[in-house]
Structure 1
Amino acid sequence: MFELSREHDELRATVRKFLARRSEEGTVRRLMETSQGYDEQTWQVMAAQLGLQGLAIPEEHGGSGFGVVELQIVMEEMGRALMCSPFLATVCWAVPLLLESGDAALAAELLPAVAEGSVTVAVAVQDGERATVAQRDDDGWTLDGSKRFVVDGASADRVVVLARTPEGPGLFLVDDAASLVRTAMTTLDQTRKQAALSFEQTRARPVGDVGAGQTVLDAAMVTARTLLAAESVGTCARMLEMTVNYAKIRHQFDRPIGSFQAVKHLCTRMLIDTELATSAAGAAGAAVDAGDDAAPLLSRVAAAATSDALESVAAEMIEIHGGIGFTWEHPAHLYYKRAASSARLWGSSSEHRSAIFDLAGATK
């Protein structure tokens, strides 16, 4: 069983202190109303002073060379604070894609820029109204089609796109994302922006081997899914904390509502669900760092556990808060919306369980 060290505790304390200043409720509410969805100065400070963007980037590419476990600590704290930033898309998804692609030249070009906070990268996978197709011509490759539900797609500097090719699915990098037709999507959780993208003879260059895109994407998703699970654990922990604190100060019949057995049971269930999710996410992170063959399976277990925990903990938070939990002024609805969104961002719990069944069968 992997155990966190004193250095891990110090990392957590540092990130929590930073986010207490940079991602308090007022800042979250302000940023969720903007089109960009995050604060560029905060993004720069994260890179220059804390080195968060480069935490798990190899040292030869300007990073610190740590692993997924360290990134999970950061993501847990971001989940607690509802951090508005392109960290999930850029650091947790695009970086693993570049590393898994085996494209050494592109990694040497992009990863140092990500580590220093000068570039953000989105990943576009789900097709929109038109399938995305890549075609080769004398000058390279062009993309035609559309994508939707692209996390931080409206603000990213560059976009990695999954597209159809004669050789099979391929990954392509659009260097000038600002030239795309990008439409912000109205989604439940406005603390995490999503966009629809349109490609019309858009110039792009291949990421890794053309035709190996799905294989690379599947491998990178093991890391990305594990990191989203860690963020979800942080969100659950904060919802539990808010709820227990409220149950201590809210009185009915001259007693704190937390003294009632029914409320105690609900809080206990929230704790159990959060602890199960924490264990599953931790096991997945350790497996990814160790290069364990079970990492794909454990990442799905973590995704299923955290998806279930997000839904149950969020619902019980609203139930215990009562009427105030429905009001715009209280932060409960912000966490509820993040929970509902993250629980389905890269698949529902039932989809993850179906994948677990397939993976378990494949390893027998």
Structure 2
Amino acid sequence: MTTTPADVNLLPDDVELDLRGSVRKVLEKHAPVEKLNAMYDDTDDVTAPLWSAFSDLGLPGLLVPEDLGGAGASAREAAAVLEEIGRAAAPSPFLTSSVVATTVLAALGDTTVLPALASGEQTAALLAGAPVGLPADVLLVPEGDALYAVRGATSTTVTSLDMTRPLADVDLAGAERTLLSEDARAAIDTGLLMGAGLLASEQVGVARWALETTIAYLKERRQFGRVVGGFQALKHRLADLYAEVEQADAAARYAAATLAASDPDAPVAVHVAASYCSEVAVHATEEAVQLHGGLGMTWEHPAHLHLKRAKADALLLGSAESHRAALALLVDLPAPAAG
């Protein structure tokens, strides 16, 4: 049974609020700024302990059906987790494994790979319109309409703008391959749609961190004997940014709600959220860097981590322009001209 847009409630319930609080505490403990900065010097003391803590909370199996060892939760709960991950700019395979790969496998009714993903014992990444996120114990590799599980592939980490979300070149030669389905195209599309829709929530988390951090700073920073936040021009900029972030939050929540309800409006909602939230996250973090002045340009301040996450997310599962082009086709509008 599906719902109409009028039936979708965007307000968080107690379960979502409790989950958000638990995730935030874990992130504060395991992903402090100094450890995130160290990842740019090839020192990763964050990803493994954080994933272990996420596993203790049952997050890897959030979207996995209960009969396969998961929590049987919905896109709304997963969106809350991703918003907190974005707020912290933390490294985690949650999006690539626990959202995209898990959704694909669940749509196929898989019982071979999915249980290990649900427990957090293993992670997976899809090689179809999505980056290879690390760590990934299993790669889901499409060939035509078929989908294979590949283990033992050789991967080489590449330098990326956002080193808290590492990417890799993959060599599949000699790797072990197992056929999962001969007709996986619809499942793959479902997984990519879920990923794009919930990535918008991560982008909202990035943007909200930038807004709140900047407001707090400008309330304390003084110049010419006055609190900087009292300058009219800055008030206008912050008011405009606040409106953008709130609109992005509503778009992302609606996308998650329609995905959770299998609403026919979900593709439209996802492309709206993906295109808008992407640009808001970049704008908010750019404003954070600029309005923090010299402090925002320092390595010690986390503004650079959030700016890099926003920039990387803007290309992760399609650019804003590509989502607008897809949206235009869905609502029978001419696609925007290239360039």
Q: TM-score, normalised by structure 2?
A: 0.90
User: RMSD value over aligned CA atoms?
Assistant: 1.9
**Would you say the 8 A contact 2:207–2:282 is kept in 1?**
no
Supply the AA of the counterpart residue of 2:282.
E
Supply the AA of the counterpart residue of 1:345.
L
Aligned match of 2:172: 199
CA 90–32 in structure 1, closer or farther in 2 if over 3 Å, else same: farther
C-alpha distance in 1, partners of 2:248/2:307? Answer: 17
Aligned match of 2:132: 150
Q: How does 1:96-107 map to 2 (within 5 A)?
A: 96-100=103-107, 102=108, 104=109, 107=110
Q: Say which of 34, 52, 77 aligns to 1:44.
A: 52
**Would you say the 8 A contact 1:97–1:216 is kept in 2?**
yes
State whether structure 2 residue 79 is matched by structure 1 residue 79: no
C-alpha distance in 1, partners of 2:101/2:44? Answer: 19
- Does the residue aligned with 2:70 lie in a helix, a strand or coil? coil
C-alpha distance in 1, partners of 2:221/2:265? Answer: 45
Equivalenced residues, count: 325
Aligned match of 1:15: 23
**Would you say the 8 A contact 1:174–1:204 is kept in 2?**
yes
Q: Say which of 65, 70, 78 aligns to 1:63.
A: 70
C-alpha distance in 1, partners of 2:40/2:97? Answer: 18
State whether structure 2 residue 301 is matched by structure 1 residue 330: yes
- Does the residue aligned with 2:73 lie in a helix, a strand or coil? coil
Query: Which of the pair has the greater relative contact order for Cα pairs under 8 Å at 6+ separation?
Result: 2
Q: How does 1:303-314 map to 2 (within 5 A)?
A: 303-314=274-285
Gaps of 5+ in 1: 127-147
Q: Say which of 221, 237, 241 aligns to 2:192.
A: 221
**Displaced runs of 4+ in structure 1, greater than 4 A?**
35-38
Supply the AA of the counterpart residue of 2:125.
A
CA 316–213 in structure 1, closer or farther in 2 if over 3 Å, else same: same
Q: TM-score, normalised by structure 1?
A: 0.84
- CA distances 1:158-210 after superposition (whole Å, capped 9, x unpaired): 111133xxxx343211023xxx231111111111000111222533122322x
C-alpha distance in 2, partners of 1:326/1:36? Answer: 23
Aligned match of 1:252: 223
Supply the AA of the counterpart residue of 2:70.
G
C-alpha distance in 2, partners of 1:28/1:265? Answer: 32
**Would you say the 8 A contact 1:80–1:234 is kept in 2?**
yes
CA 294–337 in structure 1, closer or farther in 2 if over 3 Å, else same: same
Aligned match of 1:230: 201
C-alpha distance in 2, partners of 1:337/1:81? Answer: 12
State whether structure 2 residue 165 is matched by structure 1 residue 183: no
Q: Say which of 248, 268, 271 aligns to 1:300.
A: 271
Gaps of 5+ in 2: 1-7, 334-339
Aligned match of 1:121: 124
C-alpha distance in 2, partners of 1:198/1:312? Answer: 36
C-alpha distance in 2, partners of 1:85/1:32? Answer: 16
C-alpha distance in 1, partners of 2:242/2:194? Answer: 26
Structure 1 residue 42, shift from structure 2 partner = 2.8
C-alpha distance in 1, partners of 2:145/2:41? Answer: 36
Supply the AA of the counterpart residue of 2:327.
I
- Does the residue aligned with 2:173 lie in a helix, a strand or coil? strand
**Would you say the 8 A contact 2:20–2:84 is kept in 1?**
yes
